[in-house]
Amino acid sequence: MICSKITGTGTFIPSINTKNESFLNANFLDNNGDDFASENSVIIDKFKAITGIEERRYAKDTCKTSDLAFFAAQKAIENAAIQPEDLDYIILAHNFGDVKKGAIQSDILPSLASRVKYRLGIENPNCVAYDILFGCPGWVEGVIQANAFIKAGIASKCLVIGAETLSRVVDKHDRDSMIFSDGAGACIVEKTTTDSLESGILSHATQTFSKDEAYFLHFGNSFNTLEDKNVRYIKMEGRKIYEFAITKVPAAMKVALDKSGVDIDDVKKVFIHQANEKMDEAIIKRFYRLYKKQPPVAIMPMSIHKLGNSSVATIPTLLDLVLKGNIENQEVKKGDVVIFASVGAGMNINAIVYRF
């Protein structure tokens, strides 16, 4: 039986470590451009209590998203012990392209995937490189697409990358800017023949909600009315996203798990998009509630406390850290069933059930 397995992972975590205290002197404004009544220390304390974020990583001024993607890709290729020329697809998930430090324009020509292929020195024209714009679930969707290519018989090795430099597209006057960070994660998805115990991707689910939810995440002007009106920044409807996510994500996860035939009690880990600690905890609780169960202790590895929300990079980065023993009290063993799940701009949701 043909199956799609993750045979290598890699991550690039930027070196600039920005702690919450760095925002004590920020000029935060509300969406009307007015000062908050609370001091920044209070705002930061409430922020940490809700999101769990203590610090985040930012890329060096000289690095762009495609650079981070390349660094993570190199590590994944090495970890999988394959040659770049053997790749059939390079699928790169991002949302804002390459944004130079201080620039006001995104650069996505050529595609970031083509840039990574160029940096890898791949000569094979049959290695197809393309980008995905799918919000935070982009890397998960890239793995789903790689699986489809493998099952269709048109690919045997795919490189899937999630990379972002959100620090370049945040409004420094918006307190939500403290959530976002930079980073990249990658994996190799390979065609394999399964043994008696089915392994690899068992099932998946993807949904897009856009009737009322499409603009929960969008580009908008700075909260500082004196800023250039032609420059746009990432904006989000936090409360609406929270209420949407805690209802819709558990339902999509259930669809994927039920399709797999795996019992909820056999799920060992849930790798969920590192968006907001309280939101992720609520999603897991509601997911298990659908099966009239309580989530097991340590079912959900977390990296958001130290790395922040790097959008498409959060799940592949977290996966790589766990597989390589870099998250305390978290491990994945051969035969373990895990779920990958994400939610983000669009509004898009997806989930994969995977056996190692």
What one-character-per-residue DSSP string does 129-183 give?
A: EEEE--STTHHHHHHHHHHHHHHTTS-SEEEEEEEEEGGGS--TTSGGGGTB-EE
Residue 53 reports pLDDT greater than 90: yes
Query: 30-34, 159-163, 167-171, 253-257: which has the minimum mean pLDDT?
Result: 30-34
Residues 96 and 21 reside in one and the same domain: yes
Element (H, E) at 218: strand 217-220
Residue 270 reports pLDDT greater than 70: yes
Amino acid 226: pLDDT: 86
Strand 128-132 with 89-93, pairing: parallel
| pTM for the whole structure | 0.94
Residues 266 and 189 reside in one and the same domain: no
Residues 207 and 189 reside in one and the same domain: no
Overall domain count for the chain: 2
Amino acid 102: pLDDT: 81
C-alpha to C-alpha distance for 217 and 184, rounded to whole angstroms = 21
Residue 55 reports pLDDT greater than 90: yes
Residues 157 and 235 reside in one and the same domain: no
Q: Are 178 and 44 in contact (CB under 8 A)?
A: yes
Residues 129 and 229 reside in one and the same domain: no
Map residue 184 onto helix, strand or coil. strand
Residues 169 and 248 reside in one and the same domain: no
Residue 73 reports pLDDT greater than 60: yes
Q: Residue 50: give the domain boundaries.
A: 2-193
Strand 16-19 with 55-58, pairing: antiparallel
Last residue of a domain, one of 147, 167, 193: 193
Last residue of a domain, one of 193, 216, 234: 193
Residues 114 and 255 reside in one and the same domain: no
**Mean pLDDT score, 39-49:** 93
pLDDT in tens, 317-354: 999 999 999 998 899 999 999 999 999 999 999 999 99
Mean pLDDT estimate for the chain: 94
Residues 344 and 217 reside in one and the same domain: yes
Residues 106 and 171 reside in one and the same domain: yes
Amino acid 196: pLDDT: 54
Amino acid 195: pLDDT: 61
Residues 126 and 268 reside in one and the same domain: no
Amino acid 197: pLDDT: 59
Last residue of a domain, one of 193, 228, 244: 193
Residues 184 and 225 reside in one and the same domain: no
Amino acid 42: pLDDT: 94
**CATH label of the domain that carries residue 269:** 3.40.47.10
**Mean pLDDT score, 201-228:** 93
pLDDT in tens, 109-127: 999 999 999 999 999 999 9
Q: Are 81 and 150 in contact (CB under 8 A)?
A: no
Q: Are 320 and 295 in contact (CB under 8 A)?
A: no
Residues 120 and 262 reside in one and the same domain: no
Give residue 46's pLDDT band: very low, low, confident or very high (50, 70, 90): very high
Share of the chain above pLDDT 90, in %: 88
Amino acid 8: pLDDT: 97
